[in-house]
Amino acid sequence: SQQGEEDPQALSIQEGENATMNCSYKTSINNLQWYRQNSGRGLVHLILIRSNEREKHSGRLRVTLDTSKKSSSLLITASRAADTASYFCATDVLSFGNEKLTFGTGTRLTIIP
Amino acid sequence: KAGVTQTPRYLIKTRGQQVTLSCSPISGHRSVSWYQQTPGQGLQFLFEYFSETQRNKGNFPGRFSGRQFSNSRSEMNVSTLELGDSALYLCASSWDRGLGRGYTFGSGTRLTVV
C-alpha cells in the first residue's frame, strides 16, 4: 500500500513558472526523499530531507518538511521543458524488520514551452 | 562510476512461465531493493537485501522471490507468471539504508505477461 498521497496528481504550467507539489504521509519517518521519473524509466534521486530538518535547497529545488502535519512540498523554480516528468515522494522508515522506502502516488508535471 | 544495471530491459513471457531478473548495484553498495511499478498500484516494495540477507519483504505472494550474491548482485524470480505480473520492475541500490542516503535506481525491466 502507499504511504501517502501526492497532490496534485497532474500539473501543467508554462515554462519559466514555478511548480509546487505536495506529499502527505502516515507514519513517523527517518527521512523523506523526492525522485523524478521520465516516461516509465528508472527513478532519479533529487533530494533527501531528514526528519529533523525543515527546509532544504538543491539548485532550483526547494523541499520543506512539516513532521507535525506529516507533509512535505517540492518547489521547482524557473521550470524548464526538461522538468517534464513524474515526481514521487518516498518515506524512509528506519525501524527494525520494516526497512523499506515507501512511495507516494506521484505528480505528473508537464512544462509547456 | 557505473550506475545500477538491470537486465534484461524488456521481457515477454507467457502465463505460467517463470522469469529471473538481474540487478547489478553500484560498486560498493551492499543494499539492493526491488520494486514493482504498475499504473494501478504505483510503486510497491518487493524486498530488500543487504549482505546476502533478506532484511524486509513486501506484501507479495510467495511466487516472488529473490536473492543476493556475495558481490551484491541480486536476482529476483517470479514463478507461475500471471497477467497481473506485467509491470516495470525496478532495482535500487544504496550503501546502507541506516545512513539515510538516497537510492540509485536502475532503468528497470519491463515485463509483459501474455
pLDDT value for A82: 96
How many CB pairs lie under 8 A apart between chains A and B? 63
B55 touches chain A (CB under 8 A): yes
DSSP annotation of A30 = S
Beta carbons of B103 and A101 less than 8 Å apart? yes
B33 touches chain A (CB under 8 A): yes
- Among B55, B56, B105, beta carbon nearest to A42: B105
Q: Minimum mean pLDDT among A15-24, A25-34, B84-93: which range?
A: A25-34
Q: In what order do the strands lie in the sheet with B64-68?
A: B5-7, B19-24, B74-78, B64-68
DSSP annotation of B1 = -
- Of A105, A69, A90, the closest CA to residue B41 belongs to A105
Do strands A100-103 and B31-38 pair parallel, antiparallel, or not at all (unpaired)? unpaired
pLDDT value for A1: 45
> Could you report the per-residue pLDDT of B34-92, keeping only the tens digit for each?
999 999 899 999 999 999 999 889 999 999 999 999 999 999 999 999 999 999 999 99
Beta carbons of B100 and A48 less than 8 Å apart? yes
